[in-house]
């Protein structure tokens, strides 16, 4: 294992012109200012006391940083990433050192650390979460889709969730999706890339560009072939409300700006609606054909996780269980 002794800070430094030694309050301010531009959900921990004799940190590359000067030390964890990092503020001049590590190389005992600041997120698709969607039409009188968030996985260094969809009476999985979250944005993994699925950070008046899956059909010598494809849809956020029926979760109403079946500015164009935790009201993962209602309508029935249970008002009026089928 390579050992490095840091005597002079040569990178990630923001030296301050301070006339005296940096106090804990000043060091806290430096660390918080550094994290203010980070768009991910995180928790910032502060070592409770000044490290008079320095501090030792092991990096993601196995290097050992021996900081041999008095310093204030901070530790950052991210909600949906395996990477973490340390922030070290030098007591003598307020210079800042940032060291990236893996989460298994963090502090052994966080009880000696104080939680300084947390940027939370409303977790989308926590493990065990379940959705039921109603599907009627296309020869199916009443056909529920059951969606379950089943387990974690790691894709390209990101902590992701595997979400599976089942048709109950067939007792088989029909779709599998990989999703990840960064604060208010939810992405799905398709064609070896992450694409924006939901945006809970959007504000009224914003233009949101969501990616939608579809099967591109082409013909060769009279034979039809299908290729997984993806296309962008642009929406304007018309309204955001705290839905009292959905435990006060925010519900977003989006007007399509680019739409394949009608005039984009036609008042009859269907709006897109989604809520925190619940997601889309049409289907868990919408595709291009969810916008064409000629093949029957799909709509949200129920959602549940370890914190909340939600049933749509229209399904509640049916007085039927979430998994009802006929």
Question: 36 pLDDT band (50/70/90 cuts)?
Answer: confident
Q: What does the pLDDT read at residue 172?
A: 59
* Mean pLDDT of the chain, nearest integer: 80
CA angle 296, 300, 304 (to 5 degrees): 150
Entry pTM: 0.66
User: Over 70: is that where the pLDDT of 12 sits?
Assistant: no
Top-ranked range on mean pLDDT: pick from 111-125, 151-165, 227-241: 151-165
Burial class (CB in 10 A: 0-12, 13-18, 19+), 163: buried
- Token couple for 312: 């749509």
CA angle 9, 12, 16 (to 5 degrees): 75
Q: Which residue has the higher pLDDT, 52 or 230?
A: 52
Instruction: Report, as an integer, the average pLDDT of 281-306.
Output: 70
Closest CA to 142 of 303, 313, 301, 269: 301
User: Over 70: is that where the pLDDT of 237 sits?
Assistant: yes
DSSP notation for 40-51: S-EEEEEESS-B
Nearest-angstrom CA–CA distance, 284 and 278: 9
Q: Sort strands 249-256 and 172-182 into parallel, antiparallel or unpaired.
A: unpaired
- Phi and psi torsions of 283, nearest 5°: -165, 155
Question: 239 pLDDT band (50/70/90 cuts)?
Answer: very high
Question: 292 pLDDT band (50/70/90 cuts)?
Answer: very low
Nearest-angstrom CA–CA distance, 75 and 43: 8
Q: What does the pLDDT read at residue 125?
A: 93
Q: Which residues contact 111 (CB under 8 A, 6 or more apart)?
A: none
Nearest-angstrom CA–CA distance, 262 and 265: 8
Q: What does the pLDDT read at residue 64?
A: 86
For the chain, give every domain's residue range.
Answer: 3-119, 130-316
Question: 242 pLDDT band (50/70/90 cuts)?
Answer: confident
Tens digits of residue pLDDT in 262-290: 444 444 456 788 999 999 988 888 765 55
Question: 6 pLDDT band (50/70/90 cuts)?
Answer: very low
Q: What does the pLDDT read at residue 8?
A: 33
DSSP category for residue 19: S
Nearest-angstrom CA–CA distance, 198 and 196: 6
Q: Which residues contact 322 (CB under 8 A, 6 or more apart)?
A: 132, 144, 301, 302, 311, 315
Instruction: Report, as an integer, the average pLDDT of 303-308.
Output: 92
Question: 325 pLDDT band (50/70/90 cuts)?
Answer: confident
DSSP category for residue 307: S
Closest CA to 166 of 136, 146, 194, 143: 146
Instruction: Report, as an integer, the average pLDDT of 287-295.
Output: 48
Tens digits of residue pLDDT in 89-147: 999 999 999 998 877 678 878 888 999 988 777 889 999 999 999 876 554 457 788 99
Question: 295 pLDDT band (50/70/90 cuts)?
Answer: very low
Instruction: Report, as an integer, the average pLDDT of 33-59.
Output: 87
Contact 131, 284 (CB under 8 A): yes
Question: 1 pLDDT band (50/70/90 cuts)?
Answer: very low
**C-alpha to C-alpha distances, 121 to 26, 36, 167, 186, nearest whole angstrom:** 27, 15, 31, 11
Percent of the chain, pLDDT > 90? 40
Q: Sort strands 223-243 and 83-90 into parallel, antiparallel or unpaired.
A: unpaired
Instruction: Report, as an integer, the average pLDDT of 79-84.
Output: 76
Nearest-angstrom CA–CA distance, 249 and 7: 50
- How far from the centroid of its chain's Cα atoms is residue 300's Cα? 21
């Amino acid at each position: 294992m390579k050992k490095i002794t840091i005597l002079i800070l040569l990178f990630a430094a923001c030296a301050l012109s301070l006339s005296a030694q940096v106090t804990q309050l000043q060091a806290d301010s430096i660390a918080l200012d550094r994290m203010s531009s980070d768009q991910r959900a995180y928790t910032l921990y502060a070592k409770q006391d000044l490290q008079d004799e320095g501090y030792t940190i092991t990096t993601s590359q196995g290097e050992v940083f021996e900081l041999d000067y008095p310093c204030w030390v901070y530790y950052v964890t991210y909600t949906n990433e395996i990477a973490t990092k340390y922030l070290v503020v030098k007591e003598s001049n307020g210079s800042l050192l940032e060291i990236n590590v893996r989460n298994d190389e963090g502090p052994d005992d966080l009880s000696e650390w104080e939680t300084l600041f947390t940027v939370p997120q409303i977790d989308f698709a926590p493990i065990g979460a379940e959705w039921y969607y109603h599907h009627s039409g296309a020869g199916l009188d009443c056909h529920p889709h059951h969606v379950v968030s089943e387990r974690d996985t790691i894709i390209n260094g990101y902590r992701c969730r595997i979400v599976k969809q089942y048709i109950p009476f067939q007792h088989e999985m029909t779709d599998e999706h990989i999703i990840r979250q960064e604060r208010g944005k939810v992405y799905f993994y398709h064609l070896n890339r992450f694409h924006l699925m939901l945006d809970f950070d959007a504000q009224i008046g914003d233009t949101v560009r969501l990616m939608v899956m579809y099967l591109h059909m082409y013909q060769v010598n009279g034979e039809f072939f299908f290729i997984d494809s993806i296309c962008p849809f642009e929406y304007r956020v018309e309204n955001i409300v705290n839905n009292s029926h959905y435990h006060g979760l925010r519900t977003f109403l989006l007007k399509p700006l680019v739409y394949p079946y009608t005039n984009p500015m036609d008042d009859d164009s269907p709006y897109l609606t989604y809520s925190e935790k619940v997601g889309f009201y049409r289907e868990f993962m919408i595709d291009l054909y969810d916008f064409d209602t000629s093949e029957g309508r799909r709509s949200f029935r129920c959602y549940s996780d370890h914190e909340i249970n939600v049933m749509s008002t229209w399904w509640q009026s049916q007085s039927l269980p979430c998994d009802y089928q006929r």
